[in-house]
Amino acid sequence: MPRKRTTRAQAGGGSAKAAEKNGARSKSPLPKGLEYSDLVDYYTRLIQARSLDERIWALNRQGKVPIAASSQGHEAAQLGSLLAAEKDGDCFLFPYYRDLALKVAAGLTPVQTMMSFMGKAGDPYSRGRQFPLQGADLPNKIIQISNVVAAGLTQSVGYALGCRMAGEKTVVLVYFGDGATSQGETHEAMNFASIHKLPVIFICENNRYAISTPQRSQMVIEEVASRAAGYGFPGFTVDGMDLVACYEATREAITHARSQGPVLLEMMVERFMSHTTDDDDRRYRPEGEVERARERDPVVTLARTLIEEKVLTQKQVDEIAAAALKATDEATDIADASSPPDGSGLHDSVYSP
């Protein structure tokens, strides 16, 4: 059974220009195809996503956002894999409800994000008619039809088959949680994709919880990645708190998927917040668990490394945070002042045979 664990140190940056200006030097060489300017760019996207995520949680407590699932702690997995997909240039994404950072980094603007979470007509996914960020964002090559756990896996496999039939070389990345692997649809999707050698990368963001159910109550195996052997394709376990490791694993998986068929990547992440804004994880998580997990927060570790590597100064890191906060403030005000859907488009985008 192929397995891989990555322990390499992270590296990151602030703005591409800043990386050049500070004379970035590489203590630990970056993997193939990766430049410091990429890490600088993705660090900046990560900070924007985190800023929006934190604001959304606060707006829920003010009664302005009905419900939200946070990606805090999952960002390195989401952005590392996206970086590989963007560099490839021909990938399509099927995220799940916890992939706010992925969607923001893929091109969703702060204003569009806030429109969606506040249920306003400016939501590009469903025009404020569904759960936040649920529907499709085709300009950014994203489909997430529903929050039904594991439903995205079969849909993504069908999409990959469609691409194959159309003669396209697209690789599909589908994201899901550890709990989703207990669903029958996961088996159906993986088995079908393997039989037809479809170009699908199954990305499990394993935070070891399905709401309040811990992993040990979902499966007796330690690694979800080991399930791939049962379907006859490779599976790897990756440190999902390490953006570079996730980039590297996904880059290799894209090459494999396009030429030989599916890959399962299990990215070990930490869920910093409760399951959703409706949940209180203090009722079921051991005391201190989240605090310990936060020591591996990619926001902190990436900033620390890029400063140590002299890619950025502390001042530049602070400027990135300030710019993100400003964009979040402006987007909040714009979305707050805008209108909900007025009902006239009720039948738009609804399937009619």
Catalytic residues: 271, 275, 284
- Comparing CB distances to Mg ion, the nearer of 289 and 308 is 289
User: Which of ligand TPP, Mg ion, none interacts with 1 (beta carbon under 5 to 8 A by kind)?
Assistant: none
x-or-dash pattern for Mg ion, window 192-231, by CB under 5 A? ---------------x-x----------------------
* CB of residue 68 to ligand TPP, shortest distance in Å: 12
- Residues of this chain that interact with ligand TPP (CB under 6 A) are 98, 147-149, 176-180, 205, 207, 209-211, 275
Which of Mg ion, ligand TPP, none binds 275 (CB below 5-8 Å, type-dependent)? ligand TPP
Alpha helices (H) in 217-345, listed in sequence order? 243-260, 289-293, 298-308, 314-337
The partner in contact with residue 195, picked from ligand TPP, Mg ion, none with C-beta cut-offs of 5 to 8 angstroms by kind, is none
238 sits in which H/E element: strand 235-239
Secondary structure (3-state) at 249: helix
In the complex with ligand TPP, which residue's Cβ is closer, 55 or 275?
Answer: 275
For ligand TPP, the closer of residues 73 and 119 by Cβ is 73
Which of ligand TPP, Mg ion, none binds 180 (CB below 5-8 Å, type-dependent)?
A: ligand TPP
Pairing outcome for strands 142-144 and 135-137: antiparallel
Min. distance of Cβ 15 from ligand TPP in angstroms?
31
What number of other Cβ atoms are within 10 A of residue 28's Cβ?
12
Give yes or no for residue 178 binding Mg ion (CB under 5 A). Answer: yes
Tally Cβ neighbours within 10 Å of residue 129: 18
Least distance CB 94 / Mg ion (angstroms): 17
Residue pair 57/273 in contact by the 8 Å Cβ criterion: yes
Q: Taking a C-beta distance cutoff of 8 angstroms, is the pair 116, 132 a contact?
A: yes
Alpha-carbon span 266 to 197, nearest angstrom = 19
Contact of 188 with 170, CB cutoff 8 Å: no
Kindly state the greatest CA–CA separation across the chain. 60
Nearer to ligand TPP, 181 or 328 (CB): 181
Binding mask 261-300 toward Mg ion (x if CB under 5 A, else -) reads ----------------------------------------
The single residue listed with the structure tokens 């649920």 is 134
Q: Which helix (DSSP H) or strand (DSSP E) does residue 236 occupy? A: strand 235-239
Binding residues for Mg ion (CB under 5 A) = 177-179, 207, 209
